[in-house]
Structure 1
Amino acid sequence: MRSFLALVVAVILAGAAQFFMWQWLIERGDAPDVRAIQSMSFSPFTRHQNPTVDASVTLAQIDKDLAIVTPITGAIRTYSATQGLESVPLETVKKKGFRVVQGIWLSQDDTRDALEIDNGIWLANNNKSVVALAVGNETLLREDKTLEELIGILQDLRHKVKKNTLITTSETWDMWIKHPELAENVDYINAHILPFWEGIPEEEAVAYTFDKYDLLKATFPNKPIVIGEFGWPSRGYNQRAADAAPVTQARVLREFITEANRRGIDYNIIEAFDQPWKVAEGMVGAYWGLFNAQRQPKFALQGLVIEPERRPKMIASLLMGAFLTVIGLARRRPTFGHALLYALAANGMGLGIIAAAWWPFEAYMSPGTWVMWSVGVAAILPLAAITLARIHEISEVVLGHKPRRLFIPGTTPTSAAAALPLVSIQVPAYREPPEMLIETLDALAVLDYPNYEVLVIINNTPDEDLWRPVESHCQALGARFKFLNYPAIDGFKAGALNRAMKEVDPRTEVLALIDADYVVDPNWLKDLTPVFEDPQVAIMQAPQDHRNASDSAFHRMMQWEFAGFFDIGMVQRNEDNAIITHGTMLLIRRSAFEAVGGWQVDTIVEDTELGLRLYQAGFSAHYTNRRYGWGLLPDTFKAYKSQRHRWAYGALQIIKKHGRAMLPGGKTLTREQKFHFTTGWFFWLSDALGILIALLNLIWVPLVLGLDMMVPTVAMTVPILTAFCVNILHNQLLYRIRVKARFIDTLSAGIAAMSLQWTVAKAVFDGLIKESLAFARTEKGAGKKKRPGATFQALRETLLGLALAASALTLHLTNEQEVMEVSFFAATLAIQSIPLLAATLMHTIELLGPVPVNPEKS
């Protein structure tokens, strides 16, 4: 009941925190009231029309849009006299006193230019609404015409239109300053002053505009000047200090219009309607309208300036936060601190998911942005699940209950009459160094336990020099040690173990399994077999540890990476009877083992697969984090990668075989067991997903740099950055608390874990396309004599990591406008390079050779 109340209060408090954050983020502001707008740019294309591919507007479209703008303006400016826009002045004649500055679009297409000019001349001479011709729009800036060509067109037109029609061209303010002779050939200067594109912050935008106007006035004192374009976007990428936002747009425009009216300056606002076909302009180009593409006003001209309604998005975000909290903590018996920390994180993650999912409802989408959004959302959902699983573990370890099920030797009540069960210790060996295996057997010979046998199971090892010394040593150790040699057997380790069951003493109650490199504590069996007095217990697992961590810095890094799993992950999984069964330091109840069919040979992780079947049969498992055995770490980085590839590939095999048991309708596992196994698999899959996203991002970079494609939005990149930060926090915090590691050792563990991302990703992809792989022995036991070999074992990781890092640097250096999305994208690429370059570092440390390590100080 107390846990339920903690959950309810946490949901309420976290939801309230998110609600107040939404209220705090709603931007409000004052701005001068505006009654009317002198003139605005008018382009009546609809959301799904693209004038750049020859779309045309109809008279009905023109009439509909004129009806929207005429209540607030008495003049419009067009940009073209083709594609149906030549009909705009014909329709404005119906509106008394309405004025049109008719645009003539100039390009590098002389044939089209001729049609534009002819239509413009006809309209000027036959329509009283047309008061001026704007010949060309930023033609010099785009370098579509030379100065001489443009002046020639202006001079020619002057002789072809009636005298009361003004003639001008439209350029940015600096082009007028640069080409003063242009002003001599126009009736007035039509100057574009757009402080947003120049990175001017909103609070300085209006003053900046009139400074440039005054500069033009001083440069051309005898020439009328019109601010032919002034505007501000409501959405899109920032330009240095200039941010695009709805409230900012409203405030800047209302302040500008008020000041222009006060000064008596003529102006034109860009623009009446959003132009969605311009999404290629870094999103910004599509969002300059006073009305959106649905012809709804973005802001009021009078009264308080406030952001558009966000209530549906807020409600969706709050519901998502509550949902993630409940499914994450249901039946978890959390403390209040655990519940609150997780609930706050779940609400933050819910906000991020909704922000990403909501994007198409707020933005104009092109085919490219649909692809980017679809891939991004598909990546965010599993990434969110993984990140929340990390946060759950952080909050549970830091603020939750202390472990309750952790087996502590000597604390389990035992019956005085209970006989010590006969234990059959099985030591499978495949092409192992004999001196290493003999050391393992010597440790087993001195166990402080009277009732056990040892089966040494050699399989598929034709080299007699490897197994003959072991056979002789078993004979020397006595009848307790049975030597079994299967020269050719199918099923790898599992097949050999199944064959060896025929040789197990029929009185055996407990099977024990250790790897060929493990030296065990004499008290191993004495301390742990009492757990089997509970008939429901099928598994007793002790952690893996290693005795050669001091061989080199490389080995020490691997050691700390292993330690984290056994002191953090396994302890937490044990609380829910969901540990991963490992094929060493493992005790199994024989009757349960036989009841579920023994070892299966259809996966290469037969130990984990067996444990899952035992759970499905209703048995339980226990775990102790006390060390009872010490093996050997992989000899090389190649061996380290090979071992992890086998584990990850085996996980994919188990997913294929037992995935249905994890579904909501599955009855063979508890909800908690499903949670742990599913999230554990997600951790494997996340490495593959991370590599896939990194490759896609790498492909996207040249499109951004060369084709000016849109970069992934913040909603797509922030989850990647967040996940990385959470992983760092998880590593540093939980290693300090559970593993008692120093900062340098925690950092070493993180580097070692990250260095395997490519390997795990490859294993996942192999698991998706390959039905089976040959068993690969992890090279151990060669000690300091083993050299890494001539081939650089992190070549692929290095190349991809350097490509990502170089791309990040290139984006940073070319981001002259300091666009936030570009900076976040560059940061994402940089972070994605870290695990790959960690492999480079790991292998480099290996190549440097043994470095003295003092284990007492670690």
Structure 2
Amino acid sequence: MRAVVAVLLFVSAIHAGIWGLLRDREQAPDFKGILPSVSYAPFEGTAHPDVDNIPNAEKIRADMKTLAPLTRAIRLYSSTGGVELVPPIANEAGLKVTVGAWIDKNADRNEREMQSAIELAKRNSNVNGIVVGNETIYRGEQKIEDLIKLIQRVKGAVNVPVTTGEIWNIWLEHPELASSVDFIAAHILPYWEGFSDKQAVDQALIIYQKLRDAFPGKRIVIAEFGWPSAGYNLKGAMPGPFEQAVTLRNFVSRAEAIGMEYNIVEAIDQPWKFFEGGVGPYWGILNAAREPKFAWTGPVVDEAYWKLATIALLVGVLMSLPILRLAEPTVLQALLLSAAANGVGAWIATVFAYWNGHYFVFGSAFALTLGLILLFPLVLIAMARIEEIAAIAFGRNPRRLIVKSASVAPATIGNSVSFPKVSIHVPAYFEPPEMLKATLDALSRLDYPNFECVVIINNTPDPEFWQPIQDHCRALGERFKFINAEKVKGFKAGALRIAMDRTAADAEIIGIIDADYVVQPDWLKDLVPA
């Protein structure tokens, strides 16, 4: 037992060591300042803002207190649906606001958005600009000339800079759009172009320089730069918490060094953006619980990593405890079973990390839950099969009750000899009599002192098939019982049920063989003791 306990502790130590070796640790430039601007949406949960997701003032106020130490300004994307509450509350926290007017194909909504944005700029001294439309041209919601008219209307009504937010290539392809705005608000998101996180910052700076070369003297703001912390890979772009942290810290460091104006997308994860694919909800530097995803200084590490490791180790230990109940397990047997148990622990920790680190709409939550419910029985089945493999491959040889070489064998367990009675059932249906006689003769030569044989002929009315067998059973002696059941439902299964009724009351073991099976004399002596 001590050896088994030592094996369990050894495997657990190896498991912990593997978690330690696999822990990611990245280096990135420190940023000890305050971000110039971050995108902000005051929505919570998975409900779309157009359906039922109206923010309230208290939640916005709490968000502004959270964001004030991190940024000097926020960028909004709408001016209605509760978002109009943000500018005055942000002013309380000392934050500047770039107001957004959402523009699409709905003319009435566009009018409401623009009027609200204009009013917000007039009433709130902390509004430092208005962005009329967000990727409106890219989404095909407006034509260039129509968007320019909307921009001109807003410019004529306010005293703050007015622009529109577009992907960087739209600005290069439509210089007339750049001429219509007070400053260029370019979106540079290397993830959506398939660039890796290692290339993202270089790509952003290359594009920034292209814009400066194309529009000399024009104020250029990188209105969106970011990297998702979860989701699917896109060509060479791989989202992840480490990738996000390193990419943003590298970008901010280099942007600050060259005096770039920029806005990070985004402040807080938005679980409702599931329509943007697997990455939509995960662009925030804070998670949906308003907790920082990473530190801006020091090594980039996963703070929750050891919690997952602890879960994996605890589950591994708990699933290893049944090994202690096995009868004299060998070291190799315990080693394999403990390794399998710890593997299950690591899997459960990984599943927990996925569940804890992602946002789910009802459908995806249901699918994941159902999948786990179906997987757990498979895990238990796999563990049972591994236990069988370990017992056969590495377990101790079974201890026999009877010494195989002795005709009348002494017991090897206890002080008395015990030969459990075996009732051998032989079902037969139109079997050639000579073949069946050979089977019965072999049974009569069994080197085992305590057995009977029940021969059940079923659905065989022709006497030429059953009469010789009846006579042969009489000749072999009282151990051989003969039954002729002419009409049996279920054939062999039905015949075996009838044989059970004629089985000796003191029989402890039932043996079944086919009518054409010739056994060796040590057949029972070899099988029964095991």
Note if 1:351 corresponds to 2:346: yes
Percent of aligned pairs with the same amino acid: 37
User: Which residue is 1:732 aligned to?
Assistant: none
Structure 1 residue identity aligned to 2:517: V
- Which protein is bigger by CA-based radius of gyration? 2
Partner of 1:241 in structure 2?
236
* Residues 1:188 and 2:183 aligned together: yes
Counterpart check, 1:426 vs 2:425? yes
Aligned to 2:374: 379
* 1:294 corresponds to 2:289: yes
- Extract unaligned runs of 5+ from structure 1: 532-539, 542-620, 624-858
Cα distance in structure 2, aligned partners of 1:127 and 1:31: 38
**Residue 342 (structure 1) aligned to one of 337, 342, 346:** 337
C-alpha displacement of 1:206: 0.9
Does the aligned pair in 1 maintain the 2:436–2:469 contact within 8 Å? no
Question: What letter matches 1:304 in structure 2?
Answer: P
User: What CA deviation, in whole Å up to 9, does each residue of 1:156-203 have, x standing for no partner?
Assistant: 3333x22x4222211222333344433232222211111222232222
For residue 112 of structure 1, what is the amino acid of its counterpart? Answer: R
In the alignment, which of 6, 18, 21 is matched to residue 21 of structure 1?
Answer: 18
Deviations 1:628-686 (A, max 9, x none): xxxxxxxxxxxxxxxxxxxxxxxxxxxxxxxxxxxxxxxxxxxxxxxxxxxxxxxxxxx
Q: Following the alignment from structure 1 to structure 2, what is the Cα–Cα distance between the partners of residues 67 and 400? A: 63
2:424 and 2:513 in contact (8 A); partners too: no
Contact 2:403–2:410 (8 Å) recurs in 1: no
- State the match for 1:608 in structure 2: none
CA distance in 2 between partners of 1:289 and 1:502 (Å): 75
Q: Which of these residues, 166, 169, 180, is aligned with residue 171 of structure 1?
A: 166
- Tell me by how many angstroms 1:236 deviates: 2.7
CA drift at 1:352: 0.6
Once residues 418 and 161 of structure 2 are traced to their aligned partners in structure 1, the CA distance between those partners, rounded to angstroms, is 111
> Which sits farther off after the overlay, 245-254 or 354-363?
354-363
Structure 1 Cα separation of the partners of residues 207 and 25 of structure 2: 29
Query: Separation in 1 of the partners of 2:249 and 2:505?
Result: 91
Superposed displacement of residue 120, structure 1? 1.3
Q: In structure 2, list runs of 5 or more residues that go unmatched.
A: 412-416
- Out of 493, 512, 515, the residue aligned to residue 514 of structure 1 is 512
1:462-521 CA-partner distances (Å, limit 9, x unpaired): x74xx54422442574634765332445787566445446767x7997876434443213
Secondary structure, in 3 states, of the residue corresponding to 1:177? helix
Q: What is the match of residue 124 of structure 1?
A: 121
Match of 2:457 in 1: 458
What SS does the corresponding residue of 1:390 show, helix, strand or coil? helix
Q: Is residue 485 from structure 1 mapped to residue 484 from structure 2 by the alignment?
A: yes
Alpha carbons 1:6, 1:339 under 8 Å: kept: no
Match for residue 264 of structure 1?
259
Cα distance in 1 between the residues matched to 2:337 and 2:209: 57
1:71-127 superposed Cα distances (whole Å, 9 cap, x missing partner): 22211100000111112222334455x432111112233322221121112223333
Is the alpha carbon distance of 1:388 and 1:328 closer, same or farther for their aligned partners in structure 2, counting shifts above 3 Å?
Answer: farther
CA distance 1:358–1:377, change in 2 (3 Å): farther
Q: Secondary structure at the match of 2:522?
A: helix
| Counterpart amino acid of residue 426 in structure 2 | V
TM-score (norm 1): 0.55
Q: Quick one: which of 88, 101, 104 aligns to 2:101?
A: 104
Aligned ranges 1:131-530 → 2 under 5 Å: 131-159=128-156, 161-162=157-158, 164-405=159-400, 409-410=404-405, 414=409, 425-429=424-428, 432=429, 434-435=431-432, 439-447=435-443, 449=445, 455-459=454-458, 461=459, 464=461, 468-474=463-469, 477=472, 479-480=474-475, 484-489=483-488, 496-497=495-496, 499-500=498-499, 513-521=511-519, 523=520, 526-529=521-524
- Report what 2:36 is aligned to: 38
The alpha-carbon deviation at position 302 of structure 1 amounts to 2.4
Structure 1 residue 392: Cα displacement:
2.7
Contact residue 6 and residue 334 of structure 1 kept, 8 A: no
Q: Cα offset for 1:364?
A: 2.0
SS at match of 1:333: coil
- Assess, with a 3 A threshold, how the Cα gap between structure 1 residues 334 and 158 changes in structure 2: closer, same or farther: same
Deviation at 1:217, TM superposition (A): 2.4
Two-structure CA RMSD over aligned residues (Å): 3.3
TM alignment of 1:447-846, pairs within 5 A = 447=443, 449=445, 455-459=454-458, 461=459, 464=461, 468-474=463-469, 477=472, 479-480=474-475, 484-489=483-488, 496-497=495-496, 499-500=498-499, 513-521=511-519, 523=520, 526-529=521-524, 531=525, 541=527, 622-623=529-530
Q: How many residues align?
A: 517
- Is 179-188 or 68-77 further displaced after alignment? 179-188
CA distance in 1, matches of 2:132, 2:198: 33
Instruction: For 1:52 and 1:507, locate their aligned partners in 2 and report how far apart those are by CA, in whole Å.
Output: 78
Q: Is the 8 A contact 1:41 1:77 kept in 2?
A: yes
2:403, 2:409 within 8 Å by CA — same for their partners in 1?
no
Given candidates 77, 87, 102, the residue that maps to 1:79 is 77
- Listed one character per residue, the Cα deviations across residues 550-577 of structure 1 (whole Å, up to 9, x for unaligned) are xxxxxxxxxxxxxxxxxxxxxxxxxxxx
SS in 1 for 2:243: helix
Report what 1:63 is aligned to. 61
Aligned counterpart, 2:414: none
Q: Is the 8 A contact 1:357 1:377 kept in 2?
A: no
Q: What is the DSSP-based 3-state SS (H/G/I as helix, E as strand, rest coil) of the residue aligned with 1:248?
A: helix
Q: Which amino acid aligns with 1:128?
A: S
Normalising by structure 2, we get a TM-score of 0.86
1:434 match: secondary structure: coil
Cα shift at 1:133: 1.4
Residues 803-829 of structure 1: per-residue CA shift (max 9 Å, x gap)? xxxxxxxxxxxxxxxxxxxxxxxxxxx
Deviation at 1:424, TM superposition (A): 6.2
The Cα offsets for residues 31-88 of structure 1, whole Å up to 9 and x where unpaired, read as: 2222111111011223466424242222222222112212222111000001111122
**Alpha-carbon offset, residue 15 of structure 1:** 1.2
Q: Distance in 1 between matches of 2:420 and 2:19?
A: 63
State the Cα distance separating 1:382 from its structure 2 match.
1.5
Q: Give, in angstroms, the shift of residue 230 of structure 1.
A: 0.7
Q: Which region of structure 1 is more displaced relative to structure 2, 166-175 or 403-412?
A: 403-412
| Bigger helix fraction | 1
